[in-house]
A and B are shown apart, each in its own frame.
Chain A
Amino acid sequence: VELEAAPVFGKTESDRGSLDTPFWEGLQVGELRVQRCIRCDKWTWPPQWRCGVCGSWDLDWPAVAPEGRIFSWVRTWQAFRPEMREHVPFVTLVVELPGAGGCRLFGMLVGPEGALRIGAPVVGIIQNLEDGGAVMRWRLNETGAETRR
């Protein structure tokens, strides 16, 4: 799948004022943001109201480098919804972000699939959508450092 042709299924934004709104706002201005506790610096995902580690209610949303490694993946062959029919098979990754304490995000793989395996380095690309939304895609980063978990 090429970036321009990558399909989007479902909404790419939460309702305004949701706990994760800063994530979507970040993508729309070209940043990958993940939640972090201001007091103890612990990254957290999914976002939370309160840091379960130190008890602080103050969390912010720093931008992190869109660089990660494949934690796991699935290649979907069955069109679970009619709109998937022309897009299967496609690969969805769970990407681990070393720059955000190892938090993991879903994202569709775009570009070549040659090095698809757990531990392979990937780089994130934000795809801007016509409706003003934005969604994170991932491409294998052949020059990145591979890790074995």
Chain B
Amino acid sequence: MTSNLRGKVAAVGIGATPFYRRGEAPYGGVALALQAIVAACEDAGLDPRDVDGFASYAGDIHDGTLLMQSLGTRELCWSSMAWGGGGGGLAAAIGAAAGAICTGQARMVIVYRAVAEREQGRFATAIMRGYLGPHYEPHGIVAPAQICAVKMQQLLHAGVSREVVRSFVLAEYHHAQNNPLARAYGHPLSTADYDSSRVVADPYRLYDCSRESDVSAAILLTSAEEAKELRHPAAFLLGVAQGGPGQVWENEVDYHSAGFKGVAQRLWRQSGLTPRDVDVAQVYESFSGAAVAAMIDHGLTTIEESGEFFKVENLIAPHGRLPVNTAGGNIAEGNAHGMGLAVEAVRQLRGESSNPVPDAKVCLLTGGPTSPLVSSALFGTAETL
């Protein structure tokens, strides 16, 4: 049974600032968020004053009420924060916005995330605030890279090879070479470069880690009816789901998974689609192995078949079996805590990606493996309705 959300809401505008190196943006997060939001409105051909809702995640400190005066907001109808830390709330924020629109509580909701070191300090420290403590730090666990490495170790034990994870990273760097907005643009990565890079937290090497950036990115959602009047082909929301294992402190029952199994089941049920219908995927990866686990959780492949599935040629546009992170992802494009992936999902369905997948109709977007809450969304072109 499909849900009554399917096809009712669409992404009609996308906007982003450059991916600055961490600490190097000339502005703080509020200015970055405003720039991304206004860019998304201009992209849609809509007046920023008409944005009547704000949705974000991961405890973003740049809440809508701080932005209204600069945006000239006419009426605030919605604001929501998806709990759960990490990038897990990425699609959950989209789901909250969609719920507001579907139920008539708001008309135009901006989903956004802004990250700037000058206000929040180092990204990893900011997002781990409240998550670490005396059960982690005395043992030397102080950074997300280490916790994700512990999970990766279990994923290797479960039968996923290091080569699988490397292929994912190489595909992202491949895509970044065609994306002038990517931090890794002009910096191709070879297998040998990857293999000889320094180990950060074994089994993770430098290139398995996302690029901490000062950046904001945003997508503007409205109803399908309004979307049809606008200048760009809309990316319709076909399904969106959030969930979490409910255990923390490395006591998750299904530990080597990325926590998406229930989420994925609901996503397929809502959308009436199956993993085979996905033409291109934007998969959140603070660290590479998490993306592989997320794809397995969504049924795009299995642990047993992962060695064959995760070959670089299968993962790249235009003709790979399932091109992933076609702008370079958090690892090679830059990390807007995942919002860059949402922007790229919309670009793909418009045919505007720097690595277009020909005739792409369905794009999967995932948020936040290895965080207490995870979420996913499926976007489709008008043909999928």
Residue of B136, B140, B248 with most chain A CB atoms under a 10 A cut-off:
B140
Cβ of A46 and Cβ of B135 under 8 Å apart? Answer: yes
Contact of A106 among B124, B141, B248 (CB under 8 A): B141
- 94-114 of chain A: CB within 8 A of chain B: 94, 103-108
Q: Indicate if A74 sits at the interface (CB-CB under 8 A).
A: yes
Q: Indicate if B337 sits at the interface (CB-CB under 8 A).
A: no
Cβ of A12 and Cβ of B198 under 8 Å apart? Answer: no
CA–CA, A87 and B200, complex, Å:
14
Contact A73:B139 (CB < 8 A) given known A14-B134, A46-B248, A78-B145: no
Contact A92:B255 (CB < 8 A) given known A13-B134, A76-B146: no
**In the complex, chain A residues whose CB is within 8 Å of the CB of B251:** 45-46, 103-104
CB proximity of B76 to chain A, nearest CB, Å: 36
Cβ of B134 and Cβ of A92 under 8 Å apart? Answer: no
CA–CA, A128 and B161, complex, Å:
40
**In the complex, chain B residues whose CB is within 8 Å of the CB of A16:** none
Q: Indicate if A90 sits at the interface (CB-CB under 8 A).
A: yes
Binds B, one of A2-10, A53-61, A139-147: A2-10
* A–B pairs, 29, beta carbons within 8 Å: A8-B138, A9-B137, A9-B138, A9-B139, A10-B132, A10-B136, A24-B134, A45-B249, A71-B154, A72-B151, A72-B153, A72-B154, A72-B255, A73-B153, A76-B146, A76-B201, A76-B202, A77-B199, A80-B142, A80-B146, A89-B202, A90-B140, A92-B146, A94-B250, A103-B251, A104-B250, A105-B135, A106-B250, A135-B138
Cβ of B139 and Cβ of A108 under 8 Å apart? Answer: yes
CB proximity of B63 to chain A, nearest CB, Å: 28
Residue of A74, A80, A92 with most chain B CB atoms under a 10 A cut-off:
A74
Q: Indicate if B157 sits at the interface (CB-CB under 8 A).
A: yes
Q: Indicate if A20 sits at the interface (CB-CB under 8 A).
A: yes
Q: Indicate if B188 sits at the interface (CB-CB under 8 A).
A: no
**In the complex, chain A residues whose CB is within 8 Å of the CB of B134:** 10-14, 20, 24
**Binary flags per residue of A1-37, CB closer than 8 Å to B gives 1, else 0:** 0000001111111100000100010000000000000
Cβ of B201 and Cβ of A11 under 8 Å apart? Answer: no
Q: Indicate if A75 sits at the interface (CB-CB under 8 A).
A: yes
Residue of A75, A94, A103 with most chain B CB atoms under a 10 A cut-off:
A94
Number of A-B pairs, beta carbon distance below 8 Å? 104
Nearest A residue to B137 by beta-carbon distance? A10
CA–CA, A46 and B372, complex, Å:
13
Q: Indicate if B5 sits at the interface (CB-CB under 8 A).
A: no
Cβ of A12 and Cβ of B138 under 8 Å apart? Answer: yes
**In the complex, chain B residues whose CB is within 8 Å of the CB of A76:** 140, 146, 201-202
**In the complex, chain B residues whose CB is within 8 Å of the CB of A80:** 124, 142-143, 145-146
Interface range, A side = 35 or more
CA–CA, A81 and B136, complex, Å:
14
Chain B interface residue count, Cβ-Cβ cutoff 8 angstroms: 31
Q: Indicate if A125 sits at the interface (CB-CB under 8 A).
A: no
Cβ of B136 and Cβ of A106 under 8 Å apart? Answer: yes
Cβ of A72 and Cβ of B142 under 8 Å apart? Answer: no
Contact A73:B146 (CB < 8 A) given known A7-B140, A45-B251, A106-B141: no
Nearest A residue to B155 by beta-carbon distance? A72
**In the complex, chain B residues whose CB is within 8 Å of the CB of A126:** none
**In the complex, chain A residues whose CB is within 8 Å of the CB of B141:** 74, 92, 106
Contact of A10 among B138, B202, B249, B250 (CB under 8 A): B138
**CB-CB nearest 4 A-B residue pairs:** A10-B137, A75-B202, A74-B149, A106-B139
Nearest B residue to A127 by beta-carbon distance? B138
Residue of A20, A24, A104 with most chain B CB atoms under a 10 A cut-off:
A104
CB proximity of B20 to chain A, nearest CB, Å: 22
CA–CA, A20 and B248, complex, Å:
15
Cβ of A107 and Cβ of B153 under 8 Å apart? Answer: no
CB proximity of B2 to chain A, nearest CB, Å: 32
Residue of B139, B141, B249 with most chain A CB atoms under a 10 A cut-off:
B139
Residue of B134, B154, B248 with most chain A CB atoms under a 10 A cut-off:
B134
Cβ of A14 and Cβ of B133 under 8 Å apart? Answer: yes
CA–CA, A14 and B142, complex, Å:
16
CA–CA, A20 and B154, complex, Å:
27
Cβ of B146 and Cβ of A74 under 8 Å apart? Answer: yes
Contact A118:B135 (CB < 8 A) given known A76-B140, A76-B201, A77-B202: no
Q: Indicate if B150 sits at the interface (CB-CB under 8 A).
A: yes
Nearest A residue to B146 by beta-carbon distance? A74
**In the complex, chain A residues whose CB is within 8 Å of the CB of B202:** 74-77, 89
Nearest A residue to B249 by beta-carbon distance? A46
**In the complex, chain B residues whose CB is within 8 Å of the CB of A46:** 135, 248-249, 251
Nearest B residue to A105 by beta-carbon distance? B135
Q: Indicate if A63 sits at the interface (CB-CB under 8 A).
A: no
